[in-house]
Amino acid sequence: MTVPVRSLRFADAREAADLAAFLGRLLHYDRAAAVRLQAGGGALAVFGRPPSFEVLAIRTARLSRDPDFDVTVSAGELLEALDTEAAGEAVCPLPDSVTGPPWAGLLPPRGGWQERPGLPGPVDLRTRLTDAVAEFRSRDAALPEDRRTRAERDLIGHDIWSRTVGDTELPLRAVHAAQSLGFLRPAPDFPVALFTAGAWLRLRTPFGSIALRGAGGGGLGALAVTVGTA
């Protein structure tokens, strides 16, 4: 087929399929989601922000060409292009650019990351998530009828998901986001690591990362960015 001038040619169809799966999860939380795309060095980084977690999620994919661009597009239009164009050929035309949301102007640094100790392993992280969900349901069920409001539930959620994990500053909601977006898998040897760069924290897994500003980071405060790895 003729490849459009503005197109993505993935290293293989699996790369396109994995990116489509990520976009589908992102759209589950925000049907009007936009994503910022940065391409260079044979790789594509896709940044998104699922509002339920106050994070930015990024998934990367390997490209067979080496384009260099930075554009924001509709996540839904990109997913549609992947579904219709990438099947079997791993080629996807870029949707038209859109006006970027505020978060798209503040991404974590590309370099300067240092690994930090104290992060529990993946099994422990998943156990913490299971316990947190059970606690939320229990506390929600215990609310008197006259306090069963969205505001009260938000207070419970904030208390639970703002707790830090292990001996780190990483809030539990970042781990929750990683699991919900498909970045945290149920394998005992699944590698996870925590990195910092200035005020930013980044939870990295083989399928993506969640990065966010730590307490006192200022700016967007709890904003989290996911940097995916292929």
Domain end: 78, 105, 132, which one?
A: 105
Domain end: 57, 82, 105, which one?
A: 105
Confidence check: pLDDT of 161 > 80: yes
Count of domains for the chain: 2
166/169 Cα distance (integer angstroms): 8
> What's the longest Cα–Cα distance across the chain?
63
Tokens of 137: 């349901």
Residue 208: strand pairing partners: 205
Indicate whether 1 belongs to any domain.
no
Indicate whether 29 belongs to any domain.
yes
101 and 136 inside one domain = no
If one compares 71 and 186, the residue with the highest pLDDT of the two is 71
118 and 221 inside one domain = yes
Task: Provide the whole-model pTM.
Answer: 0.84
80 and 120 inside one domain = no
Which one, of 164, 86, 78, lies nearest residue 125 by Cα?
A: 164
3/133 Cα distance (integer angstroms): 46
Give the structural domain span for 121.
114-225
Tokens of 214: 């730590």
Confidence check: pLDDT of 21 > 80: yes
Q: 10-19 pLDDT, tens per residue?
A: 988 889 999 9
Indicate whether 2 belongs to any domain.
no
